[in-house]
Amino acid sequence: MTRITDDEGSQAARPSGSRRDPEWLRDRLDAWMKQHEGDRAHVTGIEIPAANGMSSETLLADVRVDGQDRKLVVRVAPMPDNDPVFGSYDLDGQFQLIRHLAEHTDVPLPALWWSEPSPDALGAPFFVMDRVGGDVPPDVMPYTFGSWVTEATAEQRSQMATASVGVLAKIHAAPLPPVGVAAPGDGESPLRSHIRRLHGFYDWARAGRAGAPLIDRAFAWVEETYPRDEPEPALSWGDARIGNIMYRDFEPVAVLDWEMATIGPRELDVGWMIFLHRFFQDLAELAGMDGLPGFLRREDVAASYEEQTGYRPVDLDFFTGYAALIHAVIMFRINCRAIHFGQTEEPTDPDDMILHRSAMEAMIAGTYWENVKR
């Protein structure tokens, strides 16, 4: 799930603190584990990270299993009174999808432990997986503003980019999963289905509001520029960006966050990876910083993907523009949520709720990429 990157926005984007007490959580999780695993599992500690995600909550658990100490992660669906970013969460579906990938690919994934679809134990469904050590490109402040990524050598970043595109190649090579993804409706193409669901999410997010005119224009642009020949579908990660990958020595060791997974063209992920880097790069340039202009360039990502898969991504003007629209709808929802909690004021111009407004306007106008090249 992508995150707002300015300090004020990032605080508004995140849940307003977990409603759960760590001691209560520890006792409840311990009781659940004993009920399902007997005395072989015992929870020794729970930590609620200060910087939790905008969507599902992450808990860090210390657990003793069969006499061995384990460091685990518990992903918990958000509480309804926390006004979640999305209307529904299928944590067990994510668990089953990760298991499917672990069985059929060599995508680096945390080892899975348990899934509990009932809210009885912790107040919401959850699943448990191994805690993996490594580095994640930060969102706050964005990795383009100065981070271990900017401090790396050009060769290290090239290695990182190639390996990150390789993650997409491995995901797209997986057999289509039976669960954990949003599948097309009867007689509906995967891309048409994706657009329909995005519009439904936007309608839900703007309930009681007029909406953002820029988003409305972008949906019209999608119809006007829809690919003549829709690419073949594959398993799509959905939130395919380096901020959802944990690295060690610039190689991926864990791929995270599967709540946006779907069935669709490979270009959904390729375009999202390209656009999300440009989003952070544009923020750096707007702040007068160099950022990483040579990293994850559109032509380089496409060429690397073709080299690793034999498939050349098509219609990238459309798919990067569509990625900008997806991101805009999510940011609109996040800001509606912040307004609801009184963390920000309603802007006079609803388009100001879209942080990448100027980039999106340029993409719709067909001028964005020529300016990037200059």
Active-site annotation holder among 90, 92, 139, 239: 239
pLDDT at position 179, please? 85
Q: CA angle 138-271-220, nearest 5°?
A: 115
Confirm if 356 and 327 have CB atoms less than 8 A apart.
Answer: yes
For 276-281, the CB contacts below 8 A with 24+ separation are 276/2, 276/241, 276/242, 276/243, 276/323, 276/327, 277/241, 277/242, 278/320, 278/359, 278/372, 279/327, 279/355, 279/356, 279/359, 280/5, 280/142, 280/143, 280/144, 281/144
Q: How far apart are the C-alpha atoms of 344 and 196, rounded to whole Å? A: 29
Residue among 132, 150, 133 nearest 141 (CA)? 150
Same domain, 66 and 22: yes
Residue 183 in any domain: the answer is: yes
Residue 135 in any domain: the answer is: no
Same domain, 300 and 327: yes
Q: How far apart are the C-alpha atoms of 211 and 206, rounded to whole Å? A: 5
Same domain, 151 and 83: no
Same domain, 153 and 192: yes
Last residue of a domain, one of 97, 130, 163: 130
Residue 136 in any domain: the answer is: no
CA atoms within 13 A on the CB side of 204: 14
Model's pTM, two decimal places? Answer: 0.91
pLDDT at position 51, please? 59
Same domain, 226 and 263: yes
Residue 368 in any domain: the answer is: yes
Confirm if 116 and 127 have CB atoms less than 8 A apart.
Answer: yes
pLDDT at position 182, please? 82
Same domain, 147 and 43: no
Same domain, 335 and 273: yes
User: Taking the alpha carbons of 175, 177, 183, 187 in that order, is the dihedral positive or negative?
Assistant: positive
CA distance to 185, 267, 365, 367, per residue, from 228 (Å):
20, 14, 19, 21
User: What does DSSP say about strands 41-47 and 57-65: parallel, antiparallel, or unpaired?
Assistant: antiparallel
pLDDT at position 353, please? 93
Same domain, 126 and 218: no
Residues 6+ apart with CB under 8 A from 180: 90, 93, 94, 95, 96, 97, 98, 100, 258, 261
Domain count of the chain? 2
Last residue of a domain, one of 102, 130, 158: 130
Residue 174 in any domain: the answer is: yes
Q: What is the CATH number of the domain that holds 264?
A: 3.90.1200.10
**Tell me, what DSSP letter sits at residue 322?**
H
Same domain, 123 and 77: yes
Same domain, 238 and 354: yes
Q: How far apart are the C-alpha atoms of 12 and 325, rounded to whole Å? A: 21
Structure tokens at 128: 């448990």
Length of the chain: 374
Q: Where are the beta strands (DSSP E) in 202-345?
A: 233-236, 245-248, 251-255, 262-265
Residue among 241, 236, 289, 246 nearest 136 (CA)? 246
Q: How far apart are the C-alpha atoms of 121 and 52, rounded to whole Å? A: 20
Residue 137 in any domain: the answer is: no
Last residue of a domain, one of 105, 130, 155: 130
Residue 257 in any domain: the answer is: yes
Same domain, 158 and 110: no
Greatest Cα-to-Cα distance within the chain, rounded to the nearest angstrom: 64
The ranges of the chain with pLDDT < 50 are 1-19
Annotated active-site residue 229? The verdict is no
Same domain, 125 and 147: no
Name the residue range of residue 204's domain. Answer: 143-373
CA distance to 72, 247, 263, 268, 350, per residue, from 260 (Å):
23, 21, 10, 11, 25
pLDDT at position 288, please? 95
Residue 322 in any domain: the answer is: yes
Q: What is the CATH number of the domain that holds 86?
A: 3.30.200.20
pLDDT at position 341, please? 76
Read off φ and ψ for residue 293, nearest 5 degrees: -65, -25
